Structure 1
Amino acid sequence: MSSKGDPPPYAPKKFIVALFGKRVQLKNAIGKMILHSDSAFNEVSNNVVVETNERFKVVNTPDFFNDDCLNLDQIIIDFMAHSLPGPDLFILAIDSENSQEEKVKAQVIKLQETFGENITAHLLIMLQDIEHYFSLKQRFGNRLVVAGEYVEKVCLNCCSDTPSFQYDFRNYSEDVVMRRKATFEKTRHAGHSPYHHGREGANTMIPSTSRDSFAAAAPEHHFGNRAWGASDDIFNIVLLGLTGTGKSASANTILTAGNSNSRDLFKSEASSIPITTQCVVKEVEKPFGTRVRLVDTPDFFNNEVKDSQAQVDECKKYCQPGQCAVLLVLQAGRFTGSEKEIVQRLEDKLGWKIRDSTIVLLTHKDDLKESPPGFINAHDDLRSIVQQCGGRYHLFNNNSKKSKQVLELIEKIPHFKNIHSMFVKNKDAGCCVL
């Protein structure tokens, strides 16, 4: 417990995410994914609704784009009051019925006219499904994403990598917005709902100039130093682990599955010293049905790997949430003290929670004398690692040429079926998947 004179403990910034769109149910669903909470946004409301968790404050708006919307100016003022000094991220949620290019464009323009053209630097257009993605990709570039399980992580990356949007109050009085904010805070402190919306002194200037700069913008958009969504249409499989576990041999097993004549293999041999000293990348299509990039990596914790941080940085290019699966390669029957904490150590190195996208890959399956579940349950450290990775594990016999073991691995890759179905629709188009 801190003493009376100590400063309060540090609290990380809570990012503000603004939700706009025509369909309330879709915005509610996206809000739930951002907050990772089934209890959030459970009502259909015509008011601005705010829900929070330890990372995000989500400000959900009613149909801002409806020409018949009552009290539009008040809704905007209320939204601004709840999101001062400005959101870290705007999300425009596009439902299937409003996915035509001109309808999307009109909604973006209205946001620009209300909040300023620079809103697009903070904007993601989030589609309900993949159906209209490729027809809109050329127009809206890498600001276009598809709603899915990785929404929370994408929001966190976007919010972390770019400064917050700042209201300029050209169209709405700052004094009115600040007074509205004070009203909400007073109501909240009194224990009443802060989301009642009566009319209060809206002082507005309705802009008259239509803007089309969003459609003409450059196709690539950067959030800070990260070109989010600038990935190509190749799914990445990144093999991680310590020296001697069989990463390179496992990569070759995947590489040759369905293509036994492949001669472009990863360098692999039994050795107690690192054979792979830098990230090595090769592409394969069979048996995945779409192009897949295999990334073999060195042992980031081995002192004999020179400039290991440079290799970590190289690995990060391929090892990103929503763009890859991680194979954590361990040798069955051989565990070291450093492997006990390897999941956390790799997460610290790479800067994100890889366990959500990781399969534990046990090599030397042919050496096992008992069933895989029995073997795992008999080794506490191994069982702990598997549990940290959502219970996902697979076994390889790298001396076998049968592709069945690779096909079974593919079935276990988180979200690969959804990613594959998207890629095969248009292999030539880049895509940002959530």
Structure 2
Amino acid sequence: MVCSVFLCLPGPHVFLLVINLSLPFTEENRLSIEKHLSLFGERIWRHTIVLFTRADSLKDRNIEQHIKNQDLQQIIQRCGERYHIFDFKNKSAGVQELLDKIDDVVAANSGKHFETHNDMLLEIKRKRDENEVRAKAGQKMLQDKRDLLKEIKAVAPLSELRIVLLGWTLSGKSSTGNTIFNHEIFQIGKSQKGTNHTGDVNGRKITVLNTPSWWKYFSSKFNPKFAQAAILESISQSQHMQFPHAMILVIPVDTSFKNEQKRIIEEYMAILGEDVWRHTIVLFTWGDRFPDISIEQHIESEGGALQWLIKKCRNRYHVFDNSDKKNRDQVIELLQKIDEMVTENSLFCLKTQCAAEVNVHETDTEEEISLDTEEVLSLDTDHVLKLLYQEINNRFKRVTSKLKHLGMDFTECIEAKSDRSMTEPLNLSADERLMEMIRREGSRWEVILMDSILSIQNAEASSDGNMSPCSSDIVLRWFERCDEYYSFGCGTSILEDPEPRDIKRCKTQFAE
């Protein structure tokens, strides 16, 4: 984002900060904007205009009253009270008025553009250029290794492959399985129990096992007790999967990977034995989110934790665009990389007896205590899970409010889910560090859900701005998919029925 200013040298005259009026503007939104713009330095505010879109969504409400929101006002004030409202129905007049306001910004800055020759910006650009050089070198080294392997050993495609998917909640494991088979096989968000499927892929017999997920930000101590045991059981109880050819560790490319994720993955992989790393490929999902950045650049720029993981897996990684299941080349290349790994290694035998002897529930180790989380560890696990439950419940309410602004009222459906397992409101507190981790889990869930809903709205909204029954049905299915995240902390499934009566009732209402 920062390096984009170097694409319009000597520097941009104006920045347009685009805000969608159809969604509530919260303190969280304000803090996010302030944090991102701070990367450019304080000077950026003198060159910024707030550009409001979707003014039509306010209908009869007064726009000026709407933007008196306290958090929104703070952003407008930092931009020198400069803002513009785009009316897409009268584009030419709106564009001319915006250009006039941009001229005013340029005049206020004495005709000067935003200065890119700033030490902070140049340092960020220098680091990115260095990462790009290292990324190209790493890419070449990996390709040379693959070419050498093909020369020394004949890499013959196996007629049958057995693949195990591992990863945290909402990482894209189920989507990955569906992409491999080019069919909706695995229910997204329904992996509390291991599920497997065998099918034909490019003339080969492929078996994929989708294992239960774990939390992204929380140690195994705070994950439901069944999580690690369920991963072992789902593999050991499947006759086919006791001898997998490949373990696929699924990591979303569009989310941070820090030391805490490294430690959590280490904990979960440890139950499968140290030998598991020789047979693991890191699969980055949602590769379409950064089309202009190579995966090698991402690995270099993300830092030591992700680089450690890639090296631990002997520099084996791949990228999937799960939104494009018709792209079979990405699947064929993954299978080729698995063939190469099998050629390089002997068949991996999961030693479930040894792994099962590991106490996966008691994890008060010195390593965890060294994370500066003594107070967190002193809390009862149920207390932590209830805090997670409370956070996701609050996020449900926030999503409901946002959807009302979009003309989609799912209140009855959401409340029906939220009230099933806990009727009394919780009044729990904890150390601020723990609460921050919990907020990050909740924020991740909310962002993924809202991003998906907005994509549906943009693609399928009817001409009058209201969601079609088909689109509403997709949104409801997304609630079902994400509902595992909501119920995960309780170790129970809120949606026992794949289509519970409150979902059916809403579908009937939309159909009418």
Confirm or deny a common fold (TM above 0.5).
no
TM-score, scaled relative to structure 2: 0.31
- Identify the structure with the greater strand proportion: 1
What's the TM-score once normalised by structure 1's chain length? Answer: 0.37
Structure with more of its chain in helix, by fraction: 2
